[in-house]
Structure formats: C-alpha cells, structure tokens
Structure 1
Amino acid sequence: MNSSLNPDQPFIVENNLGQSIIVLFRNTTLSNEFGFKFFSQPPQLTAKELIQQLAEIYMNNPGGVVTVALDGENPLIFNPITGPADLYAIYQALSEYQGSWLITQTASEAILTHKPASIITNLPTDSWDLNLNYWNNGYPGKTQIWQNLSLAREYLISYTVALGDNISPLIYLPFNTTPNSTSLIYTLWNYLYIAEGSDWTWQTGPPAYGPLWFKEQALLYTSTIISIIKHQFSMIKLIGANVNKNKLKLEIYNGINNILHLILVVSYGKNKIALPVLLEYGMNKINIDLENYSGNNTIEIYLYSPVLPSEVGAVIILTANYGFLIAQYLLTTNKSNDPQNYITYVYYYNSYYISFNNRANKEKKIEVF
C-alpha cells in the first residue's frame, strides 16, 4: 500500500502482472444504513442523519469520494410503505446542499474527476460475506453462468475490436429504451453488464436456493450476445479465390454495415503471410503475392479479430497469435483422374465442403456461392 489509507477515495489496484484498475471501496456504514436503517424511520430523521454523516466525512477528508453501494431494491423490499417518503427525503436533503460542499456523482464521474493518489498491491480475493460460496462454490449451475459469461465477453470483445470501437464503453441509455439501444454494439454491451450482476449466481443453487429463473435469465443474456455476434460474423464471406502462378486474388464480402479491422493470414507449405486488412461494407478485393508457391500446396486462409490476450483475460476459446478466429478456409486440389478444387469453410468449429470443377491446369479458380 502506497500513500493514504483513507477508504473514501479512488485507489489504483495492481496485480502481480502489473495490470491495474481504479477501484472505489464501499463506505460500509453509510451503505448499510441506506439499505437497512434509513428506510425504517421517519423521513426527517433520515435526512438529518445522512447530512450529519456526510458533513463529518467532509470535515475529515475534504475532496474525498464517499461510495454508497447497495442492492437498490432492499429499502423498498423491507419497507414498501414508508420507503418512497424516505427516498424523497434523501433526494431533497442532497439537493439542498448540492454544489456547496457536496456533489452527487456516478462512479464513472467520480473516477474522472478525482485522480487516484494511492496504490494497492496484492489485494486478496474476498467479499463482504467473507468468502465466495454464494457466487462460486462449484455448483454446476453457477459454473455454467460463469462459463457462459466468459464466452459472451470473449465474443463481444472480439466483435468490438473488429469494429474498431472501445472495449467496455460507457453507455447512457434513456430509461424508455433501456436495455436496448439504436446501436447494436451498445445494446450488446448493456446485456453483458446486466449478465455480470452478482445476484444471478447468488440465487442459483446452494446456499441461497433462489428461484430457477435467475439462472435462466443470466443464460438468456449471454446466449443472446453469442448468437447475435455469430450471426454478424457469418455475414463476412469468402466469395471468390483465384490462384494464378504465385498470385492469390481474394474476394471477401462484408455484410456488416461497418468497416472491419481484421487480420488476414494466408498459410501454404512452410510459408505464412499475415497482414492487417480493412474490409469496407460490400465486396472487397485483396491481392497477395505468394512467394515460393509451388502450385500444389494447400492454401489456408484465416480471418481474425486482432484481439490481445490482455483484452480478454481468461478465455473459453483460446485466442491465436493473431487474435480471435472468425473464419477459416482451406483451398486444395484433388489429384485424382477427375481433378477438382475444394474449399473447406470452417466457421465456429462447424465445417462443410463445397467442390467445384477445375477451370484450367494452370489457373485454379474457386468460387463460393
């Protein structure tokens, strides 16, 4: 730990790999009073106690960040009758002092306006419950939720990188359209943020034994992300491949209404070519010189989203040196008496074969319809 131990501030937390994130620690006293006390007493008393506690924190640490974090439904669950009046009193009290010595902010706003001065290393894995049994105790249902979440995140990061967009974007959605957006990528990220909620695994199986729909709802969000992105990637198609001596001409159709940033890898014999490509919407023609191509080699064509291991962390589908594999094509020549060209299209580990007649001995033309 470097610098101040005061918990009411943003911290930089580093792991043993040198990776870091900015963390806000929950003010336990105030957060618990929001969840379990403020909504079970007269609203006027709640407003008074809240301002007194915030003023005391301010006098001890001017410019600090007080993080109030709780399950938002708890106050109204425990106090459905008096809850609305207490909530109104809280908002009224905060509004009265807003802008003088008190500013209300979201977590992202607080991080942007308060530069962390303290660094924590070797932060142990723990929870407010002193262990992680409620969230991850080996129960198959919990494990399935975590695995699907990891897989959905891997797909979404790969798709986001292919679009050239930012990973983990801040999404501001109007209440009347949440959780959907006019932007597909924002909608998918919002689905992922919802799927990362802790109550899905908390309520699934022991020890909470919550309703079964908690598990199904979590899996619905993650499976939707995966299926939509698979469909998006399926709109990238190799339409034609023409090999003439040492020249490879590719026609790749991009059916996604965005420019795609991909890595194209061509492998034949002991040779391998990797180059970044920008695929415009519609048909794209790419010419590649094949050095030392004998004319008899199988040509393998790969399309990757250029994802870095540090961007995805632990993964279900292993990423290659070039990123996340979107599609793979194998161009081969049958040496039988009735020679044919074959293209094998491997997409998300499903393969099928399409064969075409050889047009000429020296020019092997393969078209995909």
Structure 2
Amino acid sequence: MMGGSLFLSTTLIAISMLITTVSLAAEPLPSYRIDLKETSVSGLSAGGYMADQFHVAYSSTIKGAGIIAAGPFNCAEGSVMTALGKCMQPSFLSGSPDGKELAAKANKVAANKMIDDLSNLKGNKVYIFSGTKDETVDQKVGDQIKEFYQAAGVEEENIRYVNDIAAGHAMITQNYGNDCSTASKLPYINKCDHDEAGNLLKHIYDGALNTPSEKLGGKVIGFDQGEFLANPTSHSLADEGYAFIPEACEKGETCKVHIVFHGCQQNVATIGKEYIENAGYNRWADSNKIIILYPQTSSNLSGNPKGCWDWWGYDSDHYYNKKGNQMAAVKAMLNRLAGSE
C-alpha cells in the first residue's frame, strides 16, 4: 500500500507540475480590428537601427518612424567592425556613413524585391533624435539618417530632426529615469523634461492625437514569440514578447499599431518591464487607440551577449531585408495583430 501511495503521490505531483508549466506558458498573440495603413515604428540605439530597417523594408505598410540614437538604413553592411566604428563612433580611420550612398544601395535591394520600393516612403513622417551628450552613437551618424531619408524620397518638411538636447544615450522622458545628461547607464532611460514617445507619435500622426491618459485603462499582455520563429532564442529572440492593448481595442474598436524596438540590454530578461512601462508610449497609446507591440530579444553568448537587435548580421546575412529572421518574425506579429496572416 505504501508503494502504491508513493506512486500515486508522485504521479499527482508530476501532473501538478505539468499543469503549472502549461499555465505559465505564454499565450498566443490575439488579433484585433486594425487599420494596417496606420502602422508605425520606433526604436532606440540598436532598436533604432532595427526600426529604420523595418520601416524601409516594409514601407508599403509602415507610414512613419521614430529613430533615436542610431544611424541610417543598413549602415553596418554586414560587418560588426563597421557597426562599432563607422556606424557608432566615426573616425579618420573608419570614415563616416554616407546616407545618400546607402539610399542608392537600398534602391538596388528594392529592385531585387528584398525590400519594398522606396517610392512608398514619399509622404511618410520621420522623427530623428540625437542627444548632444550621447557618447555611444555620435551625432554625425544621426545626421546621415536625415540624408538617407531625403535621398530615398521623404520630403524635408516631413522629417523632424532633434539634435539640440543635452541628453545621453537613452530614451528620454518627461520625468523618469537617470539624469538627462547621463551618458550610458541602465536602464537607458533619462529624464529630460522631454516626452520623446509623445513627440515622435505626434509627428508621425500629424499631431492628431488626444492628450495622454493620466491613468491607464489598457493592459500589457505577454505572448509566445515562438509562434513566429521556430527556436526563437537561437536567433536572439526571446520566447515571450509583450504588447500594450488599450481598452477600446479590446472592445473591438478600430486601432493603429506602433512597434517599439528596445535597445541593447533593455529587454525584459535584463531590466524587467521597466522599458515597457516607463518609456512613455503607453499613456499616449491608451487615449489614442494605438496598440504598442514590444517584441523582445534574448542574449546569445556566441554573437549577441547584450541582447541587441540584429542590425549588423550576427544572425542572418538578410538581417536588413524581408528575408531576415527577426524582420520576418516581427512582420508576422504585426500580421497576427491585424488578423491578416
């Protein structure tokens, strides 16, 4: 009897553990009523590079981008040395990126159908930010984002370039984070009396936004990123991603999507939900029926120890175009949100 009781007890414990494991697994990403023509994207640092390559690659879908503390499309051209030198700290030896030249190369990529035609960028809104105290990505690199987009067909009046604030390498906010001029320190959020998330969203959406919510009615959900890329951690994608869903979207009203790419060491595995909850996006999203998609990276000791997005080719030679693993996975997340798979 004791042996039978032990077997039964062990079996019940095993079943209980299995149930707990299943219940803790991330849920599938839901679908909502989405106007895909109103989709936009932004990102900081490595996430800024990811934002501009996602914007350019899928320009027939994305209407605007906010690029913070980063550089122009495909700046690294597949080289980590170019990424660390020319695309972050240009010097006499490394040279500086050339936005016009990169736009010409992007046109050739578009001709091969690996990214959307650059003519789609006409009429888009682009917001660029580079802090004067940024010691990680030099302002000369930020300058070339504007050069790239103008050469690619974005009208000068549709580009807003903010480069006169004494901010370090960080997402800057009204009143949350490190001191504004802090050069480079976790969680890479600095309080500068400047609402970066709000400013870029207002620029992209022509200022036609309601004031941000004082108290959030929406919620943050987690979802399984493995649905969109098999063995995601082998490609430096985390198992779980996140999204902020306004109450109105949950109730079936038509909503927009804004995709936010965090910077290196800003994923949930490193700083928890600090970036998701305090970068400033959710307040604006809540009152304006904007779903914020927060895809997540994971660290990979073999080539990506800091959990950066792939903007130099550590995971795929196609990192900057539609065939890139991370690029295609995030586009599939967007399609799922819109129920257009």
Question: TM-score, normalized by length of structure 1?
Answer: 0.25
Higher relative contact order (CA 8 A, sep 6+): 2
Looking at secondary structure, tell me which structure has more strand per residue: 1
Structure showing greater radius of gyration is 1
